[in-house]
């Protein structure tokens, strides 16, 4: 009976002209959990004190921050005094990479990162290379996986840090972090992982992973923007990147963003309780998209690893068309997605992740990234499965590449007579 009711409601909604909103850009930002939002509210109007002040209204803020620190620590199996709040995951990554480099430069000036890291890791490394450091950028295989053997071979006597992300936000590939950290530690080198898209979604335990530093983002796990954290294992020395007051045990100066930190803590508390349930739900929705879209759309290729994959990540390349057109048409249907195509990026460069996995350049232009949240449901998937195929068909009817393929069975790269074989397996 309830199912019939939902169908009836959907029927009414469609026929009255209301459109569903299906938000599938959760690797950019998740919605805030309402419980998180409610937890934050008193810290705007009621408890506005500076956590460093001696008076009791300041103490309220201090207590709230310490409570949040414990909530974050509990989620990842750390001790509360190993959690350092920052303003965003980019800041956490900058602190980890530059802070370690400055702290251990007597030992050596070589660091290793993968080529599929977030720009905040890649550009921090690049900055260091302008200041006398050497950086090794490790390649990945066609699924986006780093090879532990490559890491073993890349570590030198002067290597001080290895930074490999836990999972890739764009193609969803999950790296074998505990295996990698063992290799890195055997060589006496520090290890950092950017775990922004795994924390709160799949089990993340700093001891099991064996990491010295780990980056977490609030806004990717149903918490507010404006705060993130860096786990720094006890004993690891790091040079602050923001100098000033004694906040965060002297490792990150600046007045604490109390409401957001409170929200972040609450988001971690909720994640700890609800993660396994959400995981099952996300996996089911993700698998539906991955299994059912190719049945409705021909010439569709999955980017990233089929199994070692985030439970909320779907990334397809749709051949013969470009990502931005799909994004715009889907947006008209209130379906929010992103693409790794050159056209959709502000820099007009194809996604460095798709380059790193050596996606055929023409096919990479047709990438569509859908990232789910716990707020999506089967109705959303049904809606996408109904709305997406006609959009692809519409754009393919416009595409000279598609009509050439239909006529000749060949793929065209730059005009008639320049056929090419793309690198994807069917």
Partner 1 sequence: MPFYSEKVMEHFQNPRNVGEIKDADGIGEIGNPVCGDMMTFYIKVKDNILEDVKFKTFGCGAAIAVSSMVSEMGKGKTLDEALKITNASVAQELGGLPPNKMHCSNLGADALHKAIENYKKKQGGTK
Question: Which residue, among 76, 163, 52, 79, has the nearest Cα to 116 in the 3D structure?
Answer: 163
Helix (H, G, I), strand (E, B) or coil at 217: strand
Q: Quick one: how far is CA 87 from the chain centroid?
A: 17
- Among positions 326-345, residues that touch partner 1 (CB under 8 A) are 328-329, 332, 341-344
Helix (H, G, I), strand (E, B) or coil at 314: strand
412 touching partner 1, by CB under 8 A: yes
Compare residues 291 and 414 and give the one whose CB is closer to partner 1: 414
308 touching partner 1, by CB under 8 A: no
Contact letters for partner 1, residues 367-406 (x by CB under 8 A): ------------------------------xxxxxxx---
In angstroms, give the least distance from the CB of 287 to partner 1: 30
322 touching partner 1, by CB under 8 A: yes
320 touching partner 1, by CB under 8 A: yes
Q: Specify which residues 319 forms β-bridges with.
A: none
In angstroms, give the least distance from the CB of 369 to partner 1: 16
How many whole angstroms separate alpha carbon 50 and alpha carbon 284?
A: 44
**List 34, 234, 348, 421, residue binding partner 1 (CB under 8 A):** 348
Residues 6+ apart with CB under 8 A from 318: 297, 299, 300, 326, 366, 367, 368, 392
Compare residues 61 and 344 and give the one whose CB is closer to partner 1: 344
How many whole angstroms separate alpha carbon 203 and alpha carbon 378?
A: 24
Q: Residue 268 catalytic?
A: no
In angstroms, give the least distance from the CB of 343 to partner 1: 4
325 touching partner 1, by CB under 8 A: yes
Distance (Å) of CA 408 to CA 98, 344, 362, 395? 54, 30, 18, 19
Residues 6+ apart with CB under 8 A from 13: 20
Binding span for partner 1 by CB under 8 A among 186-194, 262-270, 274-282, 410-418: 410-418
Q: And the tokens for 89? A: 């995951």
Q: Which DSSP symbol is given to 61?
A: H
In angstroms, give the least distance from the CB of 407 to partner 1: 10
317 touching partner 1, by CB under 8 A: no
Active centre residues (catalytic):
343
Q: Which residues bind partner 1 (CB under 8 A)?
A: 320-322, 324-325, 328-329, 332, 341-344, 346, 348, 350, 361-362, 365, 397-403, 412-416
């Amino acid at each position: 009976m309830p199912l019939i009711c939902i169908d009836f409601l959907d029927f009414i909604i469609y026929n009255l002209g209301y459109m569903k909103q299906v938000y599938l850009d959760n690797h950019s930002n998740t919605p805030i959990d309402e419980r998180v939002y409610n937890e934050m509210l008193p810290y705007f109007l009621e408890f506005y004190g500076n956590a460093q002040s001696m008076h009791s209204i300041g103490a309220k803020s201090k207590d709230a921050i310490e409570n949040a620190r414990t909530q974050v620590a509990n989620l990842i199996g750390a001790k509360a005094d190993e959690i350092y709040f920052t303003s965003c995951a980019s800041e956490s990554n900058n602190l980890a990479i530059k802070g370690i480099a400055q702290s251990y430069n007597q030992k050596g000036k070589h660091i290793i990162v993968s080529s599929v890291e977030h720009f905040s890791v890649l550009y921090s490394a690049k900055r260091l290379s302008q200041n006398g450091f050497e950086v090794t950028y490790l390649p990945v295989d066609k699924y986006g996986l780093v090879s532990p053997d490559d890491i073993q071979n890349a570590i030198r006597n002067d290597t001080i840090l290895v930074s490999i992300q836990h999972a890739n936000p764009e193609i969803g590939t999950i790296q074998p972090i505990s295996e990698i950290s063992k290799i890195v530690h055997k060589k006496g080198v520090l290890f950092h992982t950017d775990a922004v898209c795994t924390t709160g979604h799949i089990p993340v335990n700093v001891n099991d992973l064996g990491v010295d530093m780990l980056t977490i983002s609030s806004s990717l796990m149903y918490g507010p923007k404006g705060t993130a954290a860096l786990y720094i294992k006890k004993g690891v020395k790091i040079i602050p990147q923001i100098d000033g007051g004694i906040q965060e045990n002297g490792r990150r100066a600046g007045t604490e963003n109390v409401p957001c930190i409170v929200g972040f803590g609450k988001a971690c508390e909720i994640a700890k309780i609800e993660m396994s349930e959400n995981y099952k739900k996300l996996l089911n929705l993700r698998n539906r998209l991955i299994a059912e879209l190719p049945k409705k759309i021909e010439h569709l290729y999955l980017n990233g690893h089929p199994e070692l994959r985030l439970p909320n990540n779907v990334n397809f390349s749709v051949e013969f068309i470009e990502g931005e057109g799909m994004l715009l048409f889907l947006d008209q249907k209130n379906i929010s997605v992103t693409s790794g195509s050159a056209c959709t990026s502000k820099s007009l460069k194809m996604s460095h992740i798709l380059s790193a996995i050596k996606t055929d350049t023409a096919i990479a232009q047709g990438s569509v990234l859908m990232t789910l949240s716990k707020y999506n449901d089967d109705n959303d998937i049904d809606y996408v499965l109904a709305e997406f195929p006609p959009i692809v068909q519409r754009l393919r009817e416009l595409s000279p590449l598609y009509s050439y393929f239909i006529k000749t069975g060949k793929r065209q790269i730059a005009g008639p007579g320049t056929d090419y074989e793309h690198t994807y397996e069917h």
